[in-house]
Structure 1
């Protein structure tokens, strides 16, 4: 893992595999972005590529500084990152605190197809993963934690496959309805009201109660490490799929395995955008979402019954591929500490 520091702005990029043809990852901007978190995100992306048998590496960048005096930070970052993009050393996507517009000057030199809605493709891979884990989504119940982080897209994706979303949590709390929540109405309300929209959909409980929702599937996405061992101890779902990288901790994985809960690998459940990046220009959006769901589902089918669980099974699969083109495997697997 290499840290490349910028000279014109307080920023850095963690690059996992120095000899990869291209390295891809998100750029986050906040008052202080820790290098450790960026390294974890880079590793998760490396495993995502490896699980899909692509000889690319993961990366993740951080821009330190928000508010007065740092308004030009995104443009300065983009200007200095241009050479990295031109060589494939770092191909960025917007994360927290950044927008697609911030990275627009870099897109012309980016060899990927970035036209597709990445949130929709991520949701498709989450839905495809859950469907493979549970056997079918039709008639299943799903709970969604971290609705602010792509939850509307995930909700629509699972409902589109016949499931019901019966519980949702935001930073403002949790709401549940055993008959199913209206996901289109929730998406609209979230757009208008933000996290507090759940007040409009029933009695609100503390957000952490989502962990114990009595559903078939559970998704987590609010922040890195949100699904820790304490939350995992309350999980009643049959399968857990994170809808953002590095959300599940290593201790949570151990707790879920002891409870016979299928803990799915985030580097598969969130890898839908890879399908879009590799697709030919002009591929219809519906075709891309179907391909993203199918690709994730195929990997989960392969590792679901692994004796060490699907997450470690997927790690072994990714590492086997990495071993075909890397002299030495990168140290450390993609799990939040």
Structure 2
């Protein structure tokens, strides 16, 4: 892993692997950013690319500036790394405290297929593809989603994508959780409607859990881990599922859908219980399939490609003695060894 300090503005760029064709990762803003805190964010993408057998690498850009100085920092970044951005060697997206408008001087150079930015009924197509992939991973673990009950931790645009896909496959949504709490269970007989979820999220953001709990108060966020559902989705942040959360989940299968959402302690607890865990870098691989896709491919083409790819990887890694998460790691690392002299240190675990 290489960390390069920016010269024109306080900040840094991290490249995970040497000699990659392309580097991809978010740009984050904050005066106290630390390079080490971004390691698992870019490692997640490195393993996504390895899962797709692409010689690409995760990256991360950190601008160590206050939000009031964001515009100047972005302009300086765009000027300093013009060659990297304009050549397509480095591609980035808005991350912490940045949006597309603020990052526009950099995004103007982005050579990726931007179909993932398309609006899909209130969420981006990238978030929809995460939903497609996560639902496909869950279906692989459970033998289908029809009649299954699900819970979603880290509910947001990607979580809404999961809810829509799972409901379309016949699942019911028992509860969702944000940092503000977890929805009460006794809503519409213990089920949440994707349309109501969308309306609440778009209107109230993380406070949607209060709206969706009706007259009652939302429960504590950690109650989302209760083991009375058929599958748990997690994706609020790195290490969203801790060892304590894993202990609550028991034998309930887990699908991670954001960078390093399962902690190393949680994975150990779940493996000891023989609980299957679908890796984040498998379930959330859909957007990367679109970044260099042929422009003639449609939304439906990429939805199908995502579902088929995730299902194929889940099938290939099913039944491994170490569980599907570790089997997916071994599979990704096998590809990395075809073009890297050494494997990166540390797997995408929180």
Q: TM-score range by the shorter chain?
A: over 0.9
Note if contact 2:274-2:323 (Cα within 8 Å) is conserved in structure 1. no
Aligned to 1:51: 51
Q: Structure 2 stretches of 5 or more lacking a match?
A: 117-124
Aligned partners of 1:236 and 1:298: how far apart in 2? 26
Taking the TM superposition and a 5 Å limit, the aligned residue runs for 1:133-212 are 133-148=141-156, 150-175=158-183, 176-177=185-186, 179-202=190-213, 203=216, 204-212=218-226
Question: Among residues 105, 117, 127, which one is paired with 2:135 in the alignment?
Answer: 127
Runs of 4+ residues over 6 Å off in structure 1: none
Counterpart residue number, 2:119: none
CA shift at 1:20, angstroms? 0.6
What residue is the counterpart of 2:321 in the other structure? 307
Q: Distance in 2 between matches of 1:237 and 1:218?
A: 10
Output aligned runs, 1:197-276, within 5 Å.
197-202=208-213, 203=216, 204-236=218-250, 238-276=252-290
Matched, 1:8 2:22: no
Match of 2:121 in 1: none
Whole-angstrom CA distance in 1 between matches of 2:177 and 2:96: 19
The structure-2 alpha-carbon separation of the partners of 1:149 and 1:64, relative to structure 1 and needing over 3 Å to count, comes to farther
SS at match of 1:181: coil
2-side partners of 1:226 and 1:31: how far apart?
Answer: 24
SS in 2 for 1:14: strand
What TM-score do the two structures reach when normalised by structure 1?
0.93
| Aligned-partner Cα distance in 2 for 1:82–1:130 | 41
Cα 1:179/1:287, change in 2 over 3 Å: farther
Query: 2:2 & 2:88 partners in 1: Cα distance?
Result: 15
Answer yes or no: is the 8 Å Cα contact 1:214–1:236 preserved in 2. Answer: no
Instruction: Assess if the C-alpha contact under 8 Å between 1:215 and 1:237 holds in 2.
Output: no
Do 1:9 and 1:76's aligned partners in 2 also have CA atoms closer than 8 Å?
yes
Note if contact 2:145-2:169 (Cα within 8 Å) is conserved in structure 1.
yes
- Alpha-carbon RMSD across the aligned residues, in angstroms, is 1.9
- Cα offset for 1:53? 0.8
Q: How many residues align?
A: 336
